[in-house]
Amino acid sequence: MKRKQHRPFNPIRLKNQILNVVKNPFNMIVAISLVVLFCLIVIPLLQMIATTFTVAKSELRRIRGAEVGDFTLYYWKYILTSGMAGATLWGPLKNSLVVGFFTVLVSVPLGSVLGWLIVRTDIPGKKLLGMLVVIPYMVPSWCKALSWLAVFRNATSGSLGFLAGLGIPIPDWLAYGPVAIVLCMSLHYYAFSYINVSSALRSINSELEEMGEICGANKLQILKSITIPLVLPSVLSSIIMTLSKSIGTYGVAANLGNRIGYFTLATKMKTFINGSPQAVGYAMSLVLIALAALIIFSNQKVVGVRKSYATIGGKGGRSTEMKLGKAKTPLMIFLVVFLFFAMVAPMFVLVMETFQITTGNGYGLNNLTLYNWIGTVDEAQRYINYPGIFRNPEFTRAIYNTVRLTFIGSILTALCGQFLGYISTRGRGKWYGSATEQLVFIPYLMSGVAFSAMYVAMFNRPRLGGLIPSLYGTFGLIVLTSVVKHFPFASRSGTSNMMQISTELEEAADINGANFWQRMAKIVLPLAKNGFISGFMLTFISIAKELDLIIIMMDKRTQTMSYLAFTYSQEGYNQMADAISVCVLLFILVCYIIANKFGADIGKAW
């Protein structure tokens, strides 16, 4: 018996087949969302690829005999083989890889050790420590760059930082460039490893370790031959995540590198996209995407098969703590010192700098002012164009834009996420389920700058014969970019949420006569509510932090607080930039506290 039997043509069957598809709203929804995903993800990508092979107006003079719109290899030759290739692609690419490599080298061991200490040992104050350790991740990475500058700035960029102000000579290689970038990013991305490793450790039954003890292994041997191999898969995937993230990060690299002409792929790319030739920037972002895809897929090849045993031992395993004994005090000191230098000190310097008249000039009363917060222009003691941020209409607008963007963006993202999650769980094992999953995963491969470059390339002129107007510079485009970029995370949280709603609950309603919309309204939505709220809060925080993603599209009208702080810092108004980042920090912290109230798990926030 064959699955597909040949049946002679029958008009009634055809009618019924069509009715079966059309009458089921789920099919329609799947169709619509696949089309929308295709338009929002695949077409922009293809469009960007096409742009890199098409002559643009600005290059007419440089490409002999070409017309606008002709096919050309000019841009790819420009970055790959021309005399400019070294400065455009290979140099920044090397820098990106170096920065990424060293960030992994610092942050992964750091995060893993912290995870082990807090989950598996009898270190005191675990609960508090566990909370403090993830706070640096809440601080946007570009804020860290600003704190770094507040501490290490030297005469090269005009005003002095905290240390230089104390008379300690700070060399350029420490204040700016790769060392600074690596350390700042490490203090951010160690959270990946911490969260991955600690959750892997939690899922390992401590009886496995105790068995080792019974067999006569000492603590070091147990660690080496039982614990570490079991968490290795999660360490590997932390390496991959850290690597692909840090290669694409813009904010840190720009704040700490641009001043001394140290460019990574992400920062160099932006100078092209904002300037010319734009297509070179797009070509570079394709290189970035390819790099991330390569890293992630090779990870899936290596880890994918073996990852499964990360949860061996299952849930409910008792967890006995390892006695640290004599090592307890030094390790505790290490933790406190780490938290002090990673969090307390830079934050203190950052906050204090907002009250200083001259940075790096100490905290004497004669150097303190509230000007940066509430001053007016005529009070200015130095040449400053701007009033204090609370009197600055630009800042007010930035607050408004930030709140507007985060609210609208995260509500839309969370809704779409639940929706996509619904489609991929209900379509599990069917072609449309996997198609949705694959499409939604694509934005994950792109760093923020590369992704927004793609959207700019797509929407900087009317499309579909004017059906979609040019969105360049509009708030709508910024929202759209934020929403689509957060699809991978949002749909993953939607999927795990929907997985908990058994299909049988829906089928029971189906049998009781509820149609698709009634099932949605009465069964799925009420049950998805909690997951929705926590998904919403996490996206909210993530969008509030975002700088890289939207920096290419911002202008004075649409700028958010992050962007404003970034511009001020680039213009040398360090205190104001600091003041704004303090506001951003407070905003995020408040959101985080609220999110925690709703049971949102920050460990899932990327």
Partner 1 sequence: MSKIVLSHIDKFYGDNHVLRDINLTIEDGDFMTLLGPSGCGKTTTLRVVSGLERPQNGVMTIDGEEMINADLAYFAEPSKRGLNLVFQSYALWPHMTVRNNIAFGLKIQKLPRAEVEKRVADSLRMMRIEEYIDRYPNELSGGQQQRVAIARAVASNPKLLLLDEPLSNLDARLRVDMRSELQRIHRELGTTVIYVTHDQVEALTMSTKIALFKAGEISQVATPMDLYMNPIDLEAADFIGNPRINFLEGAGHMDGAKLHVSCELAEYEFDRSDMTEQEIPESGDFPVVVAIRPEQIHLTTEKSTDGIPVKVYANQPAGSETLVSLQGAGGTDFLAKEIGLAQYDIDQTVYAHIAPEKINIYDAKSTRLIKRTR
Distance (Å) of CA 198 to CA 4, 27, 328: 50, 41, 19
Q: Mask of contacts with partner 1, 38-77, x by CB under 8 A?
A: ----------------------------------------
Sole binder of partner 1 in the list 331, 510, 589, 604 (CB under 8 A): 510
Sole binder of partner 1 in the list 504, 517, 555, 593 (CB under 8 A): 504
- Residue 123: DSSP 8-state: -
Nearest by Cα to 409 from 561, 533, 540 = 540
Annotate 326-392 with DSSP letters as a single string: GGHHHHHHHHHHHHIIIIIHHHHHHHHHTTBSSTTS-S-GGGB-SHHHH--GGG-SSS-SS--GGG-
Is position 597 an interface residue for partner 1 (rule: CB under 8 A)?
A: no
Least distance to partner 1 from the beta carbon of 144, Å? 42
Binding to partner 1 (CB under 8 A): which residues in 130-159?
none
Q: Which stretch binds partner 1 (CB under 8 A): 13-21, 149-157, 210-218, 289-297?
A: 13-21
d(CA 31, CA 37): 10
Q: What is the Cα 438 distance to its own chain's centre?
A: 19
Sole binder of partner 1 in the list 3, 61, 64, 382 (CB under 8 A): 3
Is position 6 an interface residue for partner 1 (rule: CB under 8 A)?
A: no
Least distance to partner 1 from the beta carbon of 316, Å? 19
Least distance to partner 1 from the beta carbon of 16, Å? 4
Binding to partner 1 (CB under 8 A): which residues in 337-356?
none
Which residue lies nearer to partner 1 by CB, 269 or 501?
501
Least distance to partner 1 from the beta carbon of 296, Å? 29
Start-to-end CA distance of the chain, whole Å, equals: 48
Least distance to partner 1 from the beta carbon of 432, Å? 15
Name the helix (H) or strand (E) containing 193.
Answer: helix 178-203
Q: Which stretch binds partner 1 (CB under 8 A): 200-208, 232-240, 454-462, 504-512?
A: 504-512
Compute, in degrees rounded to 10, the torsion defined by CA atoms 594, 597, 599, 602: 40
Least distance to partner 1 from the beta carbon of 533, Å? 14
Sole binder of partner 1 in the list 73, 337, 344, 505 (CB under 8 A): 505
Q: In 3-state terms, what secondary structure has residue 161?
A: coil
Nearest by Cα to 552 from 251, 263, 245, 189 = 251
Q: Which stretch binds partner 1 (CB under 8 A): 26-34, 107-115, 406-414, 512-520?
A: 512-520
Sole binder of partner 1 in the list 522, 556, 557, 597 (CB under 8 A): 522
Nearest by Cα to 588 from 74, 141, 227 = 141
Sole binder of partner 1 in the list 167, 325, 465, 513 (CB under 8 A): 513
d(CA 596, CA 429): 34
Question: Which residues lie across from 121 on neighbouring strands?
Answer: 322
The interaxial angle of helices 265-274 and 448-459, nearest 10 deg, is: 20
Is position 220 an interface residue for partner 1 (rule: CB under 8 A)?
A: no
- The alpha carbons of the chain give a radius of gyration, in whole angstroms, of 27
Q: Which stretch binds partner 1 (CB under 8 A): 144-152, 393-401, 449-457, 497-505?
A: 497-505
Q: In 3-state terms, what secondary structure has residue 96?
A: helix
Is residue 277 reached through a cis peptide bond, with omega within 30 degrees of 0 on the bond before it?
Answer: yes
Which residue lies nearer to partner 1 by CB, 102 or 422?
422
Least distance to partner 1 from the beta carbon of 520, Å? 13
Residue type, 401: N
| Region of 69 on the Ramachandran plot (φ > 0 left; ψ -120 to 50 alpha; else beta) | left
Which residue lies nearer to partner 1 by CB, 15 or 323?
15
Least distance to partner 1 from the beta carbon of 527, Å? 6
Compute, in degrees rounded to 10, the torsion defined by CA atoms 533, 536, 537, 541: 180
Asked whether 248 and 447 are in contact (CB, 8 A), the reply is yes
Least distance to partner 1 from the beta carbon of 11, Å? 10
Which residue lies nearer to partner 1 by CB, 380 or 523?
523
Is position 434 an interface residue for partner 1 (rule: CB under 8 A)?
A: no
Least distance to partner 1 from the beta carbon of 526, Å? 5
Least distance to partner 1 from the beta carbon of 5, Å? 7
Least distance to partner 1 from the beta carbon of 509, Å? 7
Asked whether 538 and 602 are in contact (CB, 8 A), the reply is yes
Asked whether 363 and 356 are in contact (CB, 8 A), the reply is yes
Least distance to partner 1 from the beta carbon of 178, Å? 53
- Token pair for 98: 């170096």
Which residue lies nearer to partner 1 by CB, 12 or 128?
12
Sole binder of partner 1 in the list 58, 225, 502, 570 (CB under 8 A): 502
Binding to partner 1 (CB under 8 A): which residues in 442-481?
none
Number of shown-chain residues binding partner 1 (CB under 8 A): 28
Residue type, 138: M
Residues forming the site for partner 1 (CB under 8 A): 1, 3-5, 7, 10, 12-14, 16-17, 20, 502, 504-505, 507-514, 518, 522-523, 526-527
